[in-house]
Structure 1
Amino acid sequence: MVPGLNYFDFQQTAVVVLSEDLKVLTLNSAAENLFGISANRLCGRKLGWAWLNIEDYQQIFLNVATQLQPMSQHDVVVDLAGGVKRHCGISATPVEQQTGTEILLEFDHQEAPSSVVRDSELRALQQISDGMLRGFAHEVKNPLGGLRGAAQLLARELPNDELKEYTNVIIAEADRLGNLVNRMLTPNAEPEMVAVNIHQILDRIYALVSVELPDRVALTTDYDPSIPNIMGDPELLIQGVLNVVRNAQQALVEAGGYGQIVLRTRVRRNMTIGHQRHRLVAQLDVVDDGPGVPEQLREQIFYPLITGRAEGSGLGLPIAQSLINQQGGVINFTSSPGHTVFSIFLTLEGET
């Protein structure tokens, strides 16, 4: 280790290390920027000296130190001097040292408030969306049959098998959507939950979306290969995630047709989805560098027919939320100009 070098400074996220009594032992440059105070002034003091409403969350940190279990909390408000508020997600990890237990805090700072969908909102959204989805499914069922039939006729006229690969994709997608529609129209249909490799789902989505993207929109992946299988319904997962990715795609196209979309997977520890606490969950992020969700739409973005785009239907995200909810998951998002993240949280095999 190089003397005097704070290795946390190489991290873009804000990092603070606390003692068991919540005194600041060290912090990195990103944390100095977050709290608006230098490490020289903050080290040795209790974090509450800078984080004025820490009492709202300090029991979480004390539990981490006593139970030696990492915890995470999103939509945390950090009140600072002068009426400044920061909105963050926080991960707290116990680190056992010879002198006692230290608490490693990592702050995921968002410029805009984290839009977390609450349980009551989810129930209301589910009721509204379910009725509209059944009507939507009924309307698209017949056109899907026509699309499939036209693709079959076209395939018979094509001169070689290489060209038929394209019609095969159309037929396969029409079959997938047709099956999804039939399940939507079946009363009280339950998801067919199985162990699923989330990266195989994402690779399928990558293949579907990459052929649609303009040349100046890049689609990349950032996978955590250690993530175990999740529990989900493959058809519902594909459609739910696909809707979120296409939402990002359309936002970039309408903003000028250039930018980047990243499909990122991580594991989150000790997170509550609905009323169920999970030791581990899978987090799938769809990240784009577009203009962001308009502020006036952020509270209603998952409601049907709410859209900020001239050509938008206002159905893609509500359908995605409904499909993910049916599998015991949830979609949250954070957004600011140049950085929007839709996070899909799903339970892992053996964690339900």
Structure 2
Amino acid sequence: MEKRPQLVPTMALFCLLLSACSDNDSTPLTQHLTPATPATINICSDIATQFNFKDTVITSSEMVSAGKVEYSSTESYSAPDHCVVKGYMNERIGLGSSGEADTKYAIGFEMRLPKDWNGRFYYQANGGLDGSVSKAVGRLIFAGGADSAALNSGFAVISSDAGHPSPAPQFGFDPQARLDYGYNAVAELTPMAKSLIKIAYGKLPDRSYFAGCSNGGRHTMMAASRYAEMYDGFIVGNPGLHLPNAAVSQLYGAQQYSTLVTYNPDGSDILATLQTAITQEEFGVVSQQILKQCDALDGLADGMVNNTYTCQKEFDLDRDVPTCSEGRNGTCLSAEQKQVLSNIMAGPHNSQTGESLYMQTFHMM
């Protein structure tokens, strides 16, 4: 049986909103979608000769054999035989950090099109400040790891730099680059990607999905609110919202972690860095205790916490996570580490009024 992502279709959400305003109890809450139709790729290396889309340049296209795609130095994903298409849209000269129109901008993209396509399209929204084109492997669609990423499951996948080069922060000087990063790159890339898919397979995608985490989660929330008609479902992870306050929250988190950093008496070697103030192993201890307390709260013990509101009441960091009595050993947290985590999760507050500025989230699960 074919695996399918557990998504809320856009139309189902629309119907749910309608039902809240209707006296008709028969209003449907879900829409049953017909299965997507698979297809086999019919062009790759010569795709640029047949593809014509406004202000779009295909710089390369080639078939690659099944195997591992190295996403980063520490992360790789399984992939079938597929076509890699790279290009850019809307090239222009805009404002740089000098305040002068001296910086080249474009919406760079990569698409990976499986030889045997499942009829679905997946927009991989990337994190941070974007600025580079991550490999379009289709992260986040399933919980099954590298072998279950969207590309390996038969999806056609796109990834982009959101309309600006690295180093990323400087794009903020250019008004159009800010718009592209905020939302416009999605509006430009989506119809282009679907048109390219039609050239490659002879048909448009039957289903389209959008997913991302952190800033990618923000992209996804934005796409759901602005371009819901372009997609059938959205997967949102840890979205960064209200970016100015999110930046304050990030600095607050760095301040908190810095209280756990120690130095030699002469001020030379750092004995602990911000990255190891709480190690991945120690975060894992917290994660396992959260699962222990909260996994089954939604009625199913499946390794995921879905009843998050009840979990906030059931899980207690001080009570449920062991406190180290004889130094850190990867199986406990110190009292100081627990205080830092509690402060970060409470979020920064206005020092004058006590008003909460931003609720912090981070990846522990």
Q: TM (normalized to structure 2)?
A: 0.26
Give the TM-score taking structure 1 as reference length. Answer: 0.27
**Larger relative contact order (CA 8 Å, sep ≥ 6):** 1
